[in-house]
Amino acid sequence: MVGGDNGGMRWLRFVVTGLALLAAAPRLGAQFQLRFDPERNLWSIENSVAGAVFQLTPEGTFELRSLTNKTSDDVWTPPPGVRCSPIRFRLEDAVFDENTAYRLVRQSSGASVRRSYRHVIELADLGGIGRILVELEMYEKQPVLRYRVRFQNLRPQTVRLLAADMLAWSFDDRGKTFRSFHVNQWVRGGSLGNFEPITRTLNPNGAPVSLFTGAYGQHCTWLALRDEEDRGLFAGWEFDGRANASARRLESASRLDLSASIQELNRPLAPNATFQVPAAFLGVFRGDWDEAGFRTQRFAEAALTRQLPGGDFPWVIWDSWKYQTGLHEVTLRHNAEIAASLGVEVFVIDLGWARQIGDWREDPAKFPSGLRALSDYVHSLGMKFGLHLPLAEAMKTAPVLRANPDWTSTESYGYFDAESLCLSHRPVRDWIVGEITRLVDDNQVDWILQDGENMVKRCTKTTHTHDPRDSNYSNAVDGLNAVVNAMLTRRPNVHWENCEDGGNMMTFNMVRNYVTSIAADDSGPMTTRQAIYGITYPFPPRYSDRYMGDEQLDTYITRSYLFGGPWILMNRLVQMRDEDLDLLKSEIALFKSFRNRIRDGRVFHLTARPAENRIDAIQSYHEETDTAIAFVFRPQAAAAFYRARLKGLKREGNYRVRFQEDRRLLTMTGAQIMDAGIRVDLSSMWMAEIIYVEPAAQAGGTGG
Phi, psi of 260, rounded to the nearest 5 degrees? -155, 95
* Nearest to 271, CA basis, from 151, 162, 93: 151
Residues 233 and 282: beta-carbon distance below 8 Å: yes
Q: Does residue 641 lie within any of the structural domains? A: yes
Q: Does residue 611 lie within any of the structural domains? A: yes
**CA distance to 28, 145, 373, per residue, from 48 (Å):** 11, 13, 54
**CA distance to 149, 151, 154, 265, 275, per residue, from 129 (Å):** 16, 10, 5, 19, 14
CATH number at 613 reads 2.60.40.1180
pLDDT at 641: 96
Phi, psi of 388, rounded to the nearest 5 degrees? -80, 135
CATH number at 392 reads 3.20.20.70
Mark which of 274, 303, 332 sits at the end of a domain: 303
pLDDT at 149: 98
Residues 232 and 174: beta-carbon distance below 8 Å: no
In this structure, the answer to whether residues 613 and 588 fall within a common structural domain is: no
pLDDT at 30: 57
Burial class of 658 by CB neighbour count within 10 A (0 to 12, 13 to 18, 19+):
middle
Domain that holds residue 107: 20-303
Residues 190 and 521: beta-carbon distance below 8 Å: yes
User: How far is the C-alpha of 487 from the C-alpha of 387, rounded, in Å?
Assistant: 15
In this structure, the answer to whether residues 663 and 528 fall within a common structural domain is: no
Judged by DSSP in three states, 665 sits in strand
User: How far is the C-alpha of 521 from the C-alpha of 505, rounded, in Å?
Assistant: 13
User: How far is the C-alpha of 663 from the C-alpha of 18, rounded, in Å?
Assistant: 68
In this structure, the answer to whether residues 400 and 468 fall within a common structural domain is: yes
In this structure, the answer to whether residues 595 and 608 fall within a common structural domain is: no
Looking at this protein, which amino acid is placed at residue 415?
A: Y
Mark which of 256, 272, 303 sits at the end of a domain: 303
In this structure, the answer to whether residues 297 and 407 fall within a common structural domain is: no
User: How far is the C-alpha of 49 from the C-alpha of 40, rounded, in Å?
Assistant: 25
What string of H, E and C letters represents the secondary structure of 229-281?
CCEEEEEEECCCCCEEEEEEEEHHHCEEEEEEEECCCCEEECCCCEEEEEEEE
In this structure, the answer to whether residues 645 and 544 fall within a common structural domain is: no
Judged by DSSP in three states, 135 sits in strand
User: How far is the C-alpha of 506 from the C-alpha of 184, rounded, in Å?
Assistant: 9
359-387: pLDDT as tens digits = 999 999 999 999 999 999 999 999 999 99
User: How far is the C-alpha of 92 from the C-alpha of 135, rounded, in Å?
Assistant: 24
In this structure, the answer to whether residues 595 and 540 fall within a common structural domain is: yes
Phi, psi of 226, rounded to the nearest 5 degrees? -155, 150
DSSP 40-76: TTEEEEE-SSEEEEEEE-TTS-EEEEEEEETTTTEEE
In this structure, the answer to whether residues 75 and 168 fall within a common structural domain is: yes
Q: Does residue 113 lie within any of the structural domains? A: yes
User: How far is the C-alpha of 372 from the C-alpha of 459, rounded, in Å?
Assistant: 36
Residues 140 and 116: beta-carbon distance below 8 Å: yes
Q: Does residue 226 lie within any of the structural domains? A: yes
Q: Does residue 8 lie within any of the structural domains? A: no
Which stretches of the chain drop beneath a pLDDT of 70?
1-30, 698-704
In this structure, the answer to whether residues 581 and 627 fall within a common structural domain is: no
In this structure, the answer to whether residues 292 and 392 fall within a common structural domain is: no
DSSP 152-217: EE-SSS-EEEEEEBS--EEEE-TT--EEEEEEB-EETTTTSEES-EEEEEPPTB-PPEEEEESTT-
Looking at this protein, which amino acid is placed at residue 566?
A: P
Residues 64 and 167: beta-carbon distance below 8 Å: no
pLDDT at 697: 76
Looking at this protein, which amino acid is placed at residue 640?
A: A
Domain count, the chain: 3
Residues 498 and 492: beta-carbon distance below 8 Å: no
Q: Does residue 320 lie within any of the structural domains? A: yes
Q: Does residue 473 lie within any of the structural domains? A: yes
* Nearest to 478, CA basis, from 278, 235, 187: 278
User: How far is the C-alpha of 344 from the C-alpha of 383, rounded, in Å?
Assistant: 7
In this structure, the answer to whether residues 481 and 607 fall within a common structural domain is: no
* Nearest to 532, CA basis, from 462, 618, 407: 618
User: Which residues have a Cβ under 8 Å from the Cβ of 438 and sit 6 or more positions away?
Assistant: 360
pLDDT at 14: 34
What string of H, E and C letters represents the secondary structure of 422-487?
CCCCHHHHHHHHHHHHHHHHHHCCCEEEECCCCCCCCCCCCCCCCCCCCHHHHHHHHHHHHHHHHH
Q: Which helix (H) or strand (E) holds 572?
A: none
Residues 43 and 50: beta-carbon distance below 8 Å: no
In this structure, the answer to whether residues 573 and 481 fall within a common structural domain is: yes
Residues 393 and 408: beta-carbon distance below 8 Å: no
CATH number at 115 reads 2.70.98.60
